[in-house]
């Protein structure tokens, strides 16, 4: 997927994620794509928001932290190796979630995500349920004004339908029965939504990539 989208000039892919895991980092590194998560250096890396660029890079915005971010003398740093007694600096669901988001680097990352959402010409969303109040309002406002959105997921959640029901242009792909994919789409603000079924598990990302 990343290889497909980074082909076009200016060869930049902006990925905003609420996940803590490092799957994306491992995949990107394995395929030797240039990327940044905002941390400068490889050992005891320090966050620097100027690391994010607008060409020839993958900008990985992890708004809720990462499993390799730790508190080192009061400052969040990237560590490649950790002890089992250390707890990563992630924003987990809970009553302190929004209070934690005001500290660095989460504050800067959320602002960067807002900036990228604001200038986005389209959205591809994979497995996100639109329950996060840091990201959902900005995306909702953009798609309501006509920015197209494609959502790929096993099941489109009630919260997703609620937040995206006023989108002007959208395509939702989700699992249906008997190895089929349910596709719900709307072409523009003057048309009604349409539901169809297609053969194959096209809601799975690897199969979806074969048709684009």
Percent of the chain, pLDDT > 90? 73
* Rounded CA separation 167/176 (Å): 23
For residue 137, the 8-state DSSP code is H
pLDDT band at 141 (very low <50, low <70, confident <90, very high): very high
CA distance 35 to 55: 11
Question: How does pLDDT run across 143-199, given as a tens digit for each residue?
Answer: 999 999 999 999 999 999 999 989 999 999 999 988 999 999 999 989 999 999 999
Pairing of strands 12-17, 57-62: parallel
Assessment of whether the complete model's pTM goes beyond 0.75: yes
CA distances (Å), 79 to each of 29, 40, 74, 109, 128, in order?
Answer: 16, 12, 14, 18, 27
Residue 116 vs residue 93, higher pLDDT: 116
Given a contact cutoff of 8 angstroms between Cβ atoms, the answer to whether 157 and 175 are in contact is no
Report the b/e string of 17-47 with b at 16+ CB within 10 A.
Answer: bbbbebebbeebeeeebebbbbbeeeeebeb
- 98 has a pLDDT exceeding 70: no
State pLDDT tens for residues 110-131: 999 999 999 999 999 999 999 8
């Amino acid at each position: 997927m990343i290889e497909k989208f980074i082909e076009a000039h200016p060869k930049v892919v902006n990925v905003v994620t609420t996940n803590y895991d490092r799957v994306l980092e491992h995949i990107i590194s394995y395929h030797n794509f240039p990327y940044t998560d905002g941390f400068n250096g490889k050992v005891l890396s320090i966050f620097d928001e100027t690391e994010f660029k607008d060409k020839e890079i993958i900008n990985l915005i992890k708004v809720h932290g990462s499993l390799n971010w730790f508190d080192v003398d009061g400052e969040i740093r990237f560590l490649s190796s950790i002890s089992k007694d250390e707890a990563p600096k992630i924003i987990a669901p809970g009553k302190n979630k929004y209070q934690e988001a005001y500290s660095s680097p989460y504050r800067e990352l959320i602002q960067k995500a807002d900036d990228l959402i604001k200038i986005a010409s389209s959205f591809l969303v994979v497995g996100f349920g639109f329950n996060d109040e840091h990201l959902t309002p900005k995306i909702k406002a953009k798609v309501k004004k006509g920015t197209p959105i494609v959502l790929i997921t096993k099941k489109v959640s009630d919260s997703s339908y609620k937040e995206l029901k006023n989108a002007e242009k959208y395509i939702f792909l989700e699992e249906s029965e008997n190895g089929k994919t349910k596709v719900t789409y709307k072409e523009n603000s003057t048309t009604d939504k349409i539901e169809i079924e297609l053969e194959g598990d096209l809601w799975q990302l690897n199969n979806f990539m074969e048709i684009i």
